[in-house]
Amino acid sequence: MNHRGVTLWFTGLSGAGKTTITQALKEKLLAENCKLEVLDGDIVRTNLTKGLGFSKEDRDENIRRIGFVSQLLTRNGVIVLVSAISPYRAVRQEVRGKIGDFVEVYVNAPLATCEERDVKGLYKRARAGEIKQFTGISDPYEPPEAPEIECRTDLEELSESVDKVWNKLVELKYLMP
């Protein structure tokens, strides 16, 4: 399959399904021999952005660093799958402007659904006051105003979400079957 470099930026609350969709899409793209990289927020925080906290300034810097790496990869023909909460609209727009070939995927699930899916117990800890500045509880999440794709993971199957992203990449001519 022919493809062009692009960054797919999966944003949404913790537990919304960003990593799940990213992993399923990764498998589908690899099966087509696409050149790709996955930048998962949790993994990036333990390596590339180690030492940053969760203040607004640190979160913005985290997103800028992920964006910088994404820009380098994208301009070299790589499909980059970024899975990061990235709660603030302005810094997502800033990164979009720098990367250019950027597709925002809003992984949307209600807070109650995300809390039900909380395998790490983070929401419970945040509600108990053990975790400060937790997105969706004590820190805001600013949903995208006009994402290219919205995946409603509380209403659709994983395959539907993956197909939405795949079809948009074909429509935008990032994938040429």
Residues annotated catalytic, as ranges: 86
- 14 is known to lie in a ligand binding site: yes
Q: Return the half-sphere exposure (C-beta side, CA atoms, 13 A cut-off) of residue 176.
A: 5
Let me know: does 170 contact 177? Beta carbons within 8 Å: yes
- 17 is known to lie in a ligand binding site: yes
- 129 is known to lie in a ligand binding site: no
- 55 is known to lie in a ligand binding site: no
- 16 is known to lie in a ligand binding site: yes
- 128 is known to lie in a ligand binding site: no
Closest CA to 88 of 56, 119, 112: 56
- 67 is known to lie in a ligand binding site: no
Task: Please work out, in degrees rounded to the nearest 5, the angle formed at the alpha carbon of residue 15 by the alpha carbons of 91 and 65.
Answer: 30
CA distance 31 to 37: 14
Residue type at position 133? Q
CA distance 83 to 63: 11
CA distance 74 to 37: 10
- 126 is known to lie in a ligand binding site: no
In the annotated binding site, the residues are 12-19
In the annotated binding site for ATP, the residues are 12-19
